[in-house]
A = this chain, B = another copy of it.
Amino acid sequence: MSDWQKLNVAERRRQSPRVAVSTVAFALRPPAHARVHAKDEEQGLWLPLVRRVRAPFKDAWALPGGPTAWNQTLTQTAHATLVAATRIEPSYLEQLYSFGSVERSADAERLVTIAYWAQYSARDAAGATAAAGEDTNVAWFRADALPDLAFDHGEIIATALTRLRSRTAYAAVAHRFLDPEFTLAQLREVHEIILGHPLDPANFRRQMLASKTLEETGHSLAGVKHRPAKTYRYRPEED
């Protein structure tokens, strides 16, 4: 029993709210060995959830996360709790928004959630150890087929999806889902998955190359039954 639960209502009202960090971590595919909750494994937006083992919302699915640690920054806490749940290192992590809904029950514990969003690259996910799959309380879901969620985690995921889509329009987000070397068709497919609609290959190519953030690797992807595509790597704009 936690310290919190020993307090009466009046005491709880004087307390500072509990502060938790939660992370919405997107990947294009569930990692190897992962437990998945979806019928097909097509590309799409996937994210890991953790089954709660205690009240409130016992047995419901929730975002990976946990309470703030006294000696860690918020970002460090987000990172540590995400890696603890999935055993995989994300390639990107950024703060999303803070949620502090008021629970109407006088008995309820006041909770402030500082939400983060993260991205896993194909390489991150491929390197997952079999050990990660052993935790039956962690599973991967498609973002368009989520279970009922604990707390306001449904709202948090919706906010993360909106942020991911708006960022994709102007920032270099998509390449982080891929390997360091990728073709323009692969990059376009990521954009299409995130945005939810098809893009013109010719125009997409021209826009990406005009941004000056892609660099030819000199390699190409042979073995396909058509003209092989050149591969590129992402190179941040330097001025």
A residues apposed to B, CB below 8 Å: 3, 12-19, 67-68, 70-74, 95, 97-98, 100-102, 110, 112, 114
Contact = CB atoms under 8 A, between A and B. Distances in A.
A14 B6 CA distance: 15
Nearest to A110: B70
A68 B16 CA distance: 7
Given A16-B68, A98-B98, 15 more contacts: A12-B70, A13-B70, A13-B71, A16-B16, A16-B17, A16-B19, A16-B67, A17-B68, A19-B112, A68-B100, A71-B102, A73-B100, A74-B98, A74-B112, A100-B114
A100 B112 contact: no
A94 to B, nearest CB: 11
13 contacts: A13-B70, A13-B71, A14-B70, A16-B19, A17-B19, A19-B19, A68-B110, A68-B112, A70-B110, A74-B112, A98-B114, A112-B112, A112-B114
A157 B238 CA distance: 27
